[in-house]
Structure 1
Amino acid sequence: MKPMRKLVWMLCASLLLSAQALLAQTREITGKVTDSKDGSALSGATIYVQGTNRTTKSSPDGSFSVTAPTTAKTLLISFIGYKNQVINIGSGNVLVKMEQDVSVAEDVVVTGYKNRSKREFAGSAGTVKGDAIRATPIASFDQALQGQTPGLILRATSGQPGNSGSAIIRGRGSING
């Protein structure tokens, strides 16, 4: 009876150890996404672990962290207005320097769920060029859009710094935010 009990304990111990080894087959990949020209952080870049369904977005300082299986070899990083990059996963931090894509031939409309070319987009969309925003002396982002987009009314709810305002798109009976 004792040899059988010893065999059962050894079998249980080996199962627990193998389960621990199976759980350890993922790793944490960290890094930072920046512009290749000026080194500024790119917030909102999408990082895909190729061959899996794992994705993440870069934070406002450009940093990211994603859990990936140890079998994963590459990351695909994309950001609107920049060329996609495929990076080999090594040990340590990943530094991604994105190059601007100056060959974009047509306008892209960014919706809440998918990027579409302007030709495929059936809705109404307003465009504000970056040059128009840079040329306007503003204190906040909502001031940059005020008067630039038809049908968009922006109101400050208070004069306190950091308080959010309200946005009314195409009248009060439409989308309110």
Structure 2
Amino acid sequence: MNAAHEAAQVEPTGSESLTRRIVAFLTDIGFAVRAGTFAETTPLPGIMVEHGALVFDPARLRFPCDLLHEAGHLAVVPPERRATLHHNVGADPAEEMMAIAWSYAAAVHLGIDPALLFHDEYKGGGPAILRAFTDGGGFGVPMLQWVGMTLEAGRARAEEGAPYPHMRRWLRETGDPPV
């Protein structure tokens, strides 16, 4: 485990305190986030996307770190698409991998134990996903680099920048870069 990952190993906090920390971070980087209630069943219990904003129902929110995953979906899409996302944030496999990598970087940045993000119910394989990231082989990172949000280790060395899980920017600023 590298130093950034070791630094992320902190004591879990109460879910309300953890939710407040996550909401403050998401708001600070530019997301609209609010508590609310809704009757709909959602893929992540207690979290809904409404026209690019995150709404969470405190009574139904099972895993506060799921807010990071859902925010990851919003963060990695081109800005012109962000506000159009409503309820279904999409099923694009590349964006899903980017959202997972983004959420891990956010957890590390916030000093949240990534095991709280990749819990046992996470995508049916939270512990395996956690191992992939803590062993340094997390997926989605090359795509985050491609859109200018982070740097893989080799490129970070070449550019004298900080490598993933450090993020150069938290929100994608452009559409697809030229190939």
> Does the TM-score normalized on the shorter chain lie above 0.5?
no
Query: Using CA pairs below 8 Å that are at least 6 residues apart, which structure has the higher relative contact order?
Result: 2
Bigger strand share: 1
Q: Which has the larger radius of gyration?
A: 1
Per the normalisation by structure 2, the TM-score is 0.22
